Amino acid sequence: MKRLLTNIKKLVHVENQPVPYLKGKAMNDLTSIDDAFLEIEDGKIVRFGPMTDLHGSDISGTTEYLDCTGQWVMPGLVDSHTHLIFAEPRAREFEDRIHGLTYEEIAARGGGILNSAAKLAEMPEEQLYDDAMARLHEMIQTGTTAIEIKSGYGLSTEAELKMLRVAKRIKRRAPIPVKITFLGAHAIPPEYKENPDGYVDLVIDEMLPKVVEERLADYIDVFCEKGYFTVEQTDRILKAGMAAGLRPKVHVNQFNAIGGIQTCVENKAISVDHLEVMDEGDFKALANSDCMPVALPSCSFFLGIPYTPARKIIDSNLPLALATDYNPGSTPSGNLLFVWSLACIQMKLTPTEALAALTHNAAYALELNDELGSIAVGKTANLLVSEPMDSLGHIPYHFGRNSLSRVLINGNKYTHLEP
């Protein structure tokens, strides 16, 4: 099936020779084509260029035309860090924070991750699946065209496997690419409070072999942070994951810089995520690696904590990706358009830099950069069509509003999620 998008006001981030990721000034230097066309066949981008290159003989056999007069077309957004599967929201903890309790204080009294784990253990897999698919549908409506899903609300072998099986089912049936991350080391369960190394042993010796045996995950993750998992424990888990064929994608530096980034780089992590607190050693470690820094501004917004120093990261000639961190405790939103706004308003990225972080670099953080992230021949036609607008800044400027006219998945207009 052949589709043709015509009269595109601006076709954004086209690449004739794709690169794995963008860093530094290159993130603000995306190539665009004015008054453009784009041709799609069998779900792939097969041709694009200025309208003057399009002739009558070129469009024979076209099944559908989409007139994009006044509209911009760009790569679909990619969410490389989510906790999409959870049992129920944690609105009560939201009120606790309003009354002055910190995230750490709520966690210390049994809230936070432990609360989500208790609720998840009680919920049937079918309900977890239905709820997560409904959330995914909402996310696609606001431009998400590929996603990562983590476990981590199980904290027992049985419950972690339950989460991952739900994620695998979503991966099979979702209309967009899905990557899965095993996050058994998300928090220390109460029964291991006095023996955290014993829980690390459980993750490595019992959970991980079953995850690998059932082929339930693409990556491995750890919450490397004071009060959660030490650098040494993180190193053990990441090495075990790598030996089992799971590359690391790691929660690190959310509240403290304790050397976790260096350990992640040494263990060939594809990404390090959060990074609200960074020191000079962290910048040096990232400069000598191909590890993608991932900022989660919605989490900073919701918790009232510092934002990742995104401006300094880019100005240090490093790459940067953006993601939602969608979860019930610290980021109850999967809206990447709002992340785009926060990146510009709070972290001082240009709209173009933020788009690069949400597409090209986010795709790299999921090892999908050969498939998604830019307008290039052979890539999947997961695309966004804006409403009529005069600048890229129109989208982040209208924070909290969906400025997209349509989302194309495999070249088709996305309307609803199949059950």
Query: 3-state class of 317 per DSSP?
Result: coil
- Once rounded to an integer, what is the mean pLDDT over residues 213-239? 97
Domain contains 190: yes
Contacts of 88 (CB under 8 A, 6+ apart): 119, 123, 328
**Helix orientation angle between 113-122 and 157-173, rounded to the nearest 10 degrees:** 80
- Once rounded to an integer, what is the mean pLDDT over residues 295-309? 96
Last residue of a domain, one of 366, 386, 401: 366
Residue with tokens 């919920």: 123
Quote the distance between the C-alpha of residue 392 and its chain's center.
Answer: 21
The verdict on 124 and 268 lying in the same domain is: yes
Name the nearest CA neighbour of 180 among 150, 140, 210. 150
Q: Is 90 annotated as a binding residue?
A: yes
pLDDT tens digits, residue range 328-353? 988 999 999 999 999 999 999 999 99
Confidence of residue 417 (pLDDT cuts 50, 70, 90): very low
Could you count the other beta carbons within 10 Å of the beta carbon of residue 229? 27
The verdict on 259 and 209 lying in the same domain is: yes
Name the nearest CA neighbour of 13 among 299, 374, 284. 374
Confidence of residue 227 (pLDDT cuts 50, 70, 90): very high
d(CA 6, CA 56): 13
Return the amino acid letter for 148: E
The verdict on 113 and 252 lying in the same domain is: yes
Please answer whether residues 374 and 366 qualify as being in contact, where contact means their C-beta atoms are separated by less than 8 angstroms: no
Domain contains 418: no
Look at residue 112 and tell me whether its pLDDT is greater than 80: no
d(CA 356, CA 231): 31
The full length of the chain comes to: 419
Q: Is 254 annotated as a binding residue?
A: yes
The verdict on 94 and 186 lying in the same domain is: yes
Return the amino acid letter for 58: D
What total of structural domains would you count in the chain? 2
The verdict on 288 and 216 lying in the same domain is: yes
The verdict on 35 and 107 lying in the same domain is: no
Q: Is 81 annotated as a binding residue?
A: yes
Q: From residue 334, give the alpha-carbon distance in Å to each of 80, 162, 245, 246.
A: 11, 22, 29, 25
Least confident of 19-33, 82-96, 351-365: 82-96
Q: Is 329 annotated as a binding residue?
A: yes
**What pLDDT sits at residue 28?**
98
Confidence of residue 419 (pLDDT cuts 50, 70, 90): very low
Contacts of 95 (CB under 8 A, 6+ apart): none
Please answer whether residues 53 and 35 qualify as being in contact, where contact means their C-beta atoms are separated by less than 8 angstroms: no
Confidence of residue 58 (pLDDT cuts 50, 70, 90): low
Look at residue 395 and tell me whether its pLDDT is greater than 80: yes
Instruction: Between 91 and 371, name the one with better pLDDT.
Output: 371
The verdict on 98 and 200 lying in the same domain is: yes
d(CA 25, CA 390): 23
Output the domain CATH number for residue 280: 3.20.20.140
Q: Is 156 annotated as a binding residue?
A: no
Average pLDDT of the chain to the nearest whole number: 94
Query: Domain residues for 34?
Result: 2-76+373-413
- Alpha-carbon radius of gyration of the chain: 21
Look at residue 284 and tell me whether its pLDDT is greater than 90: yes
The verdict on 251 and 385 lying in the same domain is: no
- Once rounded to an integer, what is the mean pLDDT over residues 301-329? 96
Alpha helices by DSSP H, listed for 27-182, are: 91-98, 103-108, 113-122, 125-141, 157-173
Q: Is 130 annotated as a binding residue?
A: no
Name the nearest CA neighbour of 325 among 300, 356, 351. 300
**What pLDDT sits at residue 418?**
45
The verdict on 82 and 23 lying in the same domain is: no
Domain contains 283: yes
Q: What is the largest CA-CA distance in the chain?
A: 74
Last residue of a domain, one of 329, 344, 366: 366
The verdict on 379 and 244 lying in the same domain is: no
Q: 350 exposed, middle or buried (CB, 10 Å; 0-12, 13-18, 19+)?
A: middle
Last residue of a domain, one of 327, 351, 366: 366
pLDDT tens digits, residue range 147-176? 999 999 999 999 999 999 999 999 999 999
Q: Tell me the pairing of strands 219-224 and 178-185.
A: parallel
Q: Is 55 annotated as a binding residue?
A: no
- Once rounded to an integer, what is the mean pLDDT over residues 124-141? 96
pLDDT tens digits, residue range 68-77? 999 999 999 9
The verdict on 138 and 282 lying in the same domain is: yes
Could you count the other beta carbons within 10 Å of the beta carbon of residue 353? 27
Domain contains 353: yes
**What pLDDT sits at residue 415?**
67
Q: 399 exposed, middle or buried (CB, 10 Å; 0-12, 13-18, 19+)?
A: middle
The verdict on 265 and 182 lying in the same domain is: yes
Domain contains 245: yes
pTM, two decimals, is: 0.95
Q: Is 411 annotated as a binding residue?
A: no
Look at residue 299 and tell me whether its pLDDT is greater than 50: yes
